[in-house]
């Protein structure tokens, strides 16, 4: 018998990301996929809110809302009570609490947290750069990168690139394969701009087997063979030596930890360049 999965309706006068994050964080304390989430963004009128409330009522769902306009928030609260809906106001209590201690009144303008400021555009540019330069796809752009990550397959090059991009760093990554000569563009870079990523062969074999299984492929293929992986890791170490670059062992590191190490290296180089 299929487990009951409640429907959570997220209603927001902006994107609805704040409420969605709260719902997913709460749902994670139960089972994966414990709830079905339906998000309704840019709800700015009582009529639009009523349509969501009516649907939530029919489905006996849960209503979660982040609304900064007082009249709309009060309308949704009243309608939810009348309908007997389980409803959670995420924004209201926080606004009221801050209003008691702040010396200014809230702006009450939806979407201010997503204002397209300079930081936002830098982040978008960095993400686009990481995607364009993923897996050695655009070698001509390597000189434009803040850092270039190199390593064999499944050493977290792509996840690390995208994580750093969210922090506005432009990151490219280049794969290393024994049968393919590393690109000349890599050796033309200042060694401080290149970072090698390595992983213990046994751990890398396990990671690759899991990857093959997720794709429905034979987990015993050469790709996950320990002997083959040891050859790849040895090849990568030789390349690192030729490049004279820093090397990070990501075997026991989460992406966040590896990113912190990379940022420390990047910022160290920047301080050196300034001085």
Both 178 and 265 in a single domain? Answer: yes
The SS3 assignment for 256 reads helix
| 69 and 183 co-located in one domain | no
Distance between CA 174 and CA 186 in Å, rounded? 8
Q: How far is CA 4 from CA 25, 146, 161, in A?
A: 19, 48, 39
pLDDT recorded at residue 212: 93
Q: Do both 138 and 251 map to the same domain?
A: yes
Q: Which residues make beta-bridge pairs with 87?
A: 63
Residue 97: what pLDDT?
81
Q: What CATH code is carried by the domain that includes residue 90?
A: 3.40.50.2300
Estimate to the nearest angstrom the gap between the alpha carbon of 17 and the chain centroid.
Answer: 13
On whether both 242 and 126 belong to a single domain, the answer is: yes
pTM recorded for the entire structure: 0.62
pLDDT at residue number 253: 93
Report residues of the chain scoring pLDDT below 70. 1-3, 32-33, 108, 110-117, 274-275
**pLDDT the model gives residue 140:** 95
Task: Classify each residue of 243-253 as buried b or exposed e, where b means 16 or more C-beta atoms within 10 Å of its C-beta.
Answer: bebbbbebeeb
The candidate with the shortest Cα–Cα distance to 151, out of 222, 214, 207, is: 207
1: in domain: no
Long-range contacts of 231-235 (CB under 8 A, 24+ apart): 231/178, 232/152, 232/153, 232/176, 232/177, 232/178, 233/152, 233/198, 233/199, 233/201, 233/204, 235/152, 235/176, 235/178
Q: Quick one: 140 and 268 in the same domain?
A: yes
Write down the pLDDT at residue 175.
Answer: 98
Q: How far apart are CA 52 and CA 9, in angstroms?
A: 8
Angle, vertex CA 68, rays to CA 64 and CA 71, nearest 5: 95
State how many domains the chain has: 2
Predicted local distance difference test score (pLDDT) of residue 32:
58
C-alpha–C-alpha distance, residues 211 and 36, integer Å: 27
- Which of 57, 84, 114 is the C-terminal boundary of a domain? 114
For the stretch 92-99, contacts whose Cβ atoms lie closer than 8 Å and that sit 24 or more positions apart, written own/partner, are 92/67, 95/68
In a domain, 232, yes or no: yes
Q: What is the pLDDT of residue 96?
A: 81
Contact assessment for residue 221 and residue 236, using Cβ atoms and an 8 Å cutoff: no
Domain shared by 101 and 128, yes or no? no
- Nearest residue to 129 (alpha-carbon basis) of 189, 171, 66: 171
Using the 3D structure, point to which of 114, 135, 151 is the last residue of a domain: 114
Nearest to 65 by CA among 84, 93, 100: 93
Task: Count CA atoms closer than 13 A to 215's CA, side-chain side.
Answer: 10
pLDDT at residue 99, rounded to an integer = 81
At residue 112, the pLDDT reads: 59
Q: What is the CATH number of the domain that holds 210?
A: 3.40.50
In the structure encoding, which two tokens stand for residue 267, read together? 């910022």
**Per-residue pLDDT, 1:** 42
Please calculate the CA angle 128-14-70 and round it to the nearest 5 degrees. Answer: 155
């Amino acid at each position: 018998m299929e487990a009951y999965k409640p429907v959570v309706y997220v209603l927001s006068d902006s994107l609805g990301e704040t409420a969605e994050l709260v719902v997913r964080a709460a749902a994670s304390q139960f089972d994966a996929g414990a709830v079905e989430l339906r998000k309704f963004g840019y709800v700015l009128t009582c009529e639009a809110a009523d349509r969501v409330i009516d649907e939530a009522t029919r489905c006996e769902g849960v209503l979660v809302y982040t609304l900064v306009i007082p009249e709309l928030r009060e309308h949704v609260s009243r309608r939810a009570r009348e309908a007997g809906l389980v409803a959670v106001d995420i924004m209201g209590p926080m606004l009221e609490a801050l209003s008691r201690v702040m010396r200014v009144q809230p702006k009450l303008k939806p979407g201010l947290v997503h204002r397209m400021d300079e930081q936002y555009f830098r982040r978008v540019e960095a993400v686009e750069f990481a995607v364009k330069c993923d897996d050695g796809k655009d070698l001509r752009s390597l000189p434009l990168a803040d850092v270039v990550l190199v390593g064999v397959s499944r050493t977290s090059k792509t996840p690390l690139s995208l994580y750093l991009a969210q922090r506005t760093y432009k990151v490219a990554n280049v794969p290393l394969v024994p049968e393919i000569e590393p690109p000349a563009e890599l050796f033309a870079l200042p060694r401080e701009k290149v970072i090698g990523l390595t992983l213990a062969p046994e751990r890398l074999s396990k990671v690759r087997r899991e990857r093959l299984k997720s794709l429905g492929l034979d987990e015993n293929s050469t790709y996950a063979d320990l002997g083959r992986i040891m050859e790849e890791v040895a090849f990568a170490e030789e390349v690192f030596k030729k490049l004279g670059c820093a090397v990070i062992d990501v075997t026991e590191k989460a992406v966040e930890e590896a990113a912190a190490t990379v940022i420390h290296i990047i910022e160290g180089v920047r301080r050196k360049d300034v001085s």
